[in-house]
Amino acid sequence: MIHARGLRKSFGDFEAVKGIDVTVRRGEAFGFLGPNGAGKSSTMRMIAAVSPISGGELRILDMDPANDGPAVRARLGVCPQEDTLDTELTVRDNLFVYGRYFGLPRKEVRARVDELLEFVQLTEKADAMVDDLSGGMKRRLTIARSLINGPDLLLLDEPTTGLDPQARHVVWDRLFRLKQQGVTLVLTTHYMDEAEQLCDRLVVMDKGVIVAEGSPLELIRTHSTREVAELRFGVSREGDTHEALAEKVADLGERVEVLPDRLLVYGHDGEEIIAKVHERGLEPAVTLVRRSTLEDVFLRLTGRTLVD
Ligand X SMILES: Nc1ncnc2c1ncn2[C@@H]1O[C@H](COP(=O)(O)OP(=O)(O)OP(=O)(O)O)[C@@H](O)[C@H]1O
- Applying CB under 6 A, which residues contact ligand X? 11, 14, 16, 34, 36-42, 190
- The string of DSSP codes covering 211-270 is EEEE-HHHHHHHHS-SEEEEEE--SPPTT--HHHHHHHHGGGSSEEEE-SS-EEEEES-H
Question: Least distance in Å: CB of 155 to ligand X?
Answer: 13
How many residues make up the chain in this entry? 308
- How far apart CA 119 and CA 264 sit, in angstroms, is 42
- How far apart CA 221 and CA 31 sit, in angstroms, is 18
- How far apart CA 121 and CA 142 sit, in angstroms, is 13
Closest alpha carbon to 168 in 144, 134, 201, 202: 134
Based on CB atoms, which residue is closest to ligand X, 16 or 171? 16
Based on CB atoms, which residue is closest to ligand X, 43 or 184? 43
222 C-beta neighbours (distance < 10 Å), count: 11
Based on CB atoms, which residue is closest to ligand X, 39 or 270? 39
Question: Least distance in Å: CB of 32 to ligand X?
Answer: 8
Element spanning 283, H or E = none
- How far apart CA 263 and CA 234 sit, in angstroms, is 12
- How far apart CA 211 and CA 301 sit, in angstroms, is 7
Based on CB atoms, which residue is closest to ligand X, 161 or 215? 161
- How far apart CA 154 and CA 108 sit, in angstroms, is 20
Based on CB atoms, which residue is closest to ligand X, 9 or 138? 9
Half-sphere exposure of 204 (CA within 13 A, CB side): 26
Element spanning 2, H or E = strand 2-11
Question: Least distance in Å: CB of 15 to ligand X?
Answer: 9
Question: Least distance in Å: CB of 9 to ligand X?
Answer: 8
Based on CB atoms, which residue is closest to ligand X, 38 or 122? 38
* Cβ neighbours for 275, distance < 8 A, ≥ 6 positions apart: none
Based on CB atoms, which residue is closest to ligand X, 34 or 151? 34
Based on CB atoms, which residue is closest to ligand X, 14 or 239? 14
* Cβ neighbours for 252, distance < 8 A, ≥ 6 positions apart: 265, 267, 273, 276, 277
